[in-house]
Structure 1
Amino acid sequence: MIRVLICDDHLIVREGIKQILAEAEDLRVVGEAANGADALRGVRAGREAGQGPDVVLLDIAMPQRDGLDVLKALKSEFPKLPVLMLSTYPDRQYAVRSLKLGAAGYLNKSADSEQMIDAIRQVARGQLFITPSVAELLAGAVGAGGRHAVDDAQPLHERLSHREHQVYQLLAAGRSVGEIAEQLVLSPNTVSTYRARVLEKIGVRNDVELALFAVRLEQSAGPA
């Protein structure tokens, strides 16, 4: 029996995943978490009771502490625990980053139920789950001369953390610090800190230059 912990901030998503997993006799949901802190507590409590999860399904976009930060914490504390990242974002945005941080796989929420079940079984066996689209991204990432070359050549906006990227997008859209704080349920001081990191990592001095950077990036990318 493969024990699974589901971490997603949307109840309807967790309920949907539970229904999917209920179709497989060898999978059992042993816990749920609506945020990163609850996910860490759930894994720790389960391990102490001898009934910890064998696989963690972890959403990337969550309040308070995003999935990539939680992934780092889980891999630091439980390095052998397989973590399968879930996301609604395009694969090219977070797949490679998740795998480099130690995720056992990356699955878009648009995947069908059979693929999700297969992914859980695969990572539970200690294997890496990679879809063809993610495999193509990985091949492109290492094809230029290895991991260090990839890191050095990584586009500036892709060096942002998930939360920094959220702030970047909202700043580029003309939102104020106060508006961003309200939307992301953060304090204005925290948003200001993220803003400073974004400006530094991208190499611009203010929000106007950031918006111009975003426009040039979108123009250079062309149609998706």
Structure 2
Amino acid sequence: MIRVLLTDDHKILREGLKGLLHDTDDITVVGEAGDIQELFARLGSVACDVIVLDISLPGRSGLDALKQLKAEGITTPVLVLSMHPEEQYAIRAIRSGAAGYLTKETASQELVHAIRKVHTGGKYLSSNLAERLFTELANPRGAEPHTLLSDREYQIMCMIGSGLTLTGIADKLALSVKTISTYRTRVLLKMGMKNNAELTTYVVKNGLLCDNA
């Protein structure tokens, strides 16, 4: 039996995922978490074989969770399940240690197969993502400017480019406006840009808009 720990801040979505897995004879949900703190608390109290992890969590993100899992030597395979399309976060997730990346849009058709695959030590990637990952690994010097950003800087760039104000971003990420402003300054410096308008143009051109902005 494959024991799954679900991590998503939306209870309704967790219920939906449990419904998708209910009819399988080899997968069972042994725990749920709504944020990173709850995730690590559950890992200390229940044994699981696969972690299904959302990227967009309150406070620290799913990418932060991947890094903490690695730092603590936890080797349980992680399947990232996100509302964000592959071109936004998939490669970052795989580089951070995820065993697979699945969009919520395709979860109803692919979740069971993806869980089974990462449980056996495999990687779950769409053909498009596998090609993109190979291209970036083969040609790192040709990487696009946004790949030089940290995960948090990248997240904030996408949110600014999607029209959110610094106050709106601060509310969503549970951070201070001053902190968001500091990140914005770093993003502009690393991207060689002068203002939000240039960031917005770049985000739109490269298809990095946030669906939940």
TM over 0.5: yes
1:75 aligns with 70
Please tell me whether the aligned partners of residues 57 and 84 of structure 1 are also in contact (alpha carbons under 8 angstroms).
Answer: yes
Q: How far apart in 2 are the matches of 1:126 and 1:38?
A: 25
The two structures, once aligned, show a CA RMSD in angstroms of 2.3
Change (3 A) 1:122 1:173: closer
Q: Which amino acid aligns with 1:128?
A: K
Task: Give the 3-state SS of the residue equivalent to 2:101 in structure 1.
Answer: strand
- What's the CA shift string for 1:97-143, capped at 9, x where partnerless? 11111111111111143421111111111111122221221232234
| Structure-2 change in CA distance of 1:13 and 1:162 (3 Å) | farther
Partner of 1:31: 31
Residue 129 of structure 1 aligns with an amino acid whose one-letter code is: Y
* Amino acid aligned to 1:43: L
Distance 1:96 1:153 in 2: 15
2:186: which partner in 1? 197
Higher mean C-alpha displacement, 118-127 vs 169-178: 169-178
Distance of aligned partners of 1:175 and 1:128 in 2 relative to their CA distance in 1, 3 Å threshold: closer
The aligned counterpart of 1:3 is 3
The structure whose Rg is larger is 1
Equivalent residue in structure 2 for 1:218, among 180, 204, 207: 204
Aligned length: 208
Identical residues among aligned pairs (%): 41
Cα distance in 1, alignment partners of residues 19 and 132 from structure 2: 31
In the alignment, is the contact (CA less than 8 A) between 1:71 and 1:103 conserved in 2? yes
2:58, 2:172 within 8 Å by CA — same for their partners in 1? no
Q: Deviations over 1:24-61 (max 9, x none)?
A: 11111111111112112211232xxxxx1110000011
- Residue pair 2:162, 2:200 contacting (<8 A) in 1 also: no
State the Cα deviation string for residues 82-109 of structure 1 (Å, max 9, x = none).
0001111121221111111111111111
Task: Give, as a single letter, the amino acid of the residue that structure 1 aligns with 2:198.
Answer: L
Q: Give the letter for the 1:73 counterpart.
A: Q
Task: Check 1:203–1:84 CA distance in 2 against 1; reply closer, same or farther (3 A cut).
Answer: same
* Residue number in structure 1 paired with 2:88: 93
* Structure-1 separation of matches of 2:159 and 2:26: 43
Gap change, CA 1:103 and 1:172, over 3 Å in 2: closer
Structure 2 length-normalised TM: 0.86
Match of 1:188 in 2: 177
Secondary structure of the corresponding residue to residue 111 of structure 2: helix
| Deviates most, 13-22 or 86-95 | 86-95
Shift of 1:69: 0.8
- Code of the residue aligned with 2:112 in structure 1: it is I
Q: Where in structure 1 are there 5+ consecutive unaligned residues? A: 47-51, 145-149
Asked whether the 8 Å contact 1:173–1:211 carries over to 2, the reply is no
DSSP 3-state at the match of 1:64: coil
1:53 matched to 2:42: no
User: Which SS does the other structure have where 1:106 is aligned?
Assistant: strand
Aligned to 1:49: none
* Cα shift at 1:78: 3.4
SS of equivalent residue, structure 1 residue 60:
coil
- The 3-state SS of whatever aligns with 1:97 is helix
TM-score by length of 1: 0.82
- Higher RCO (C-alpha 8 Å, min separation 6): 2
| 1:21 alignment counterpart | 21
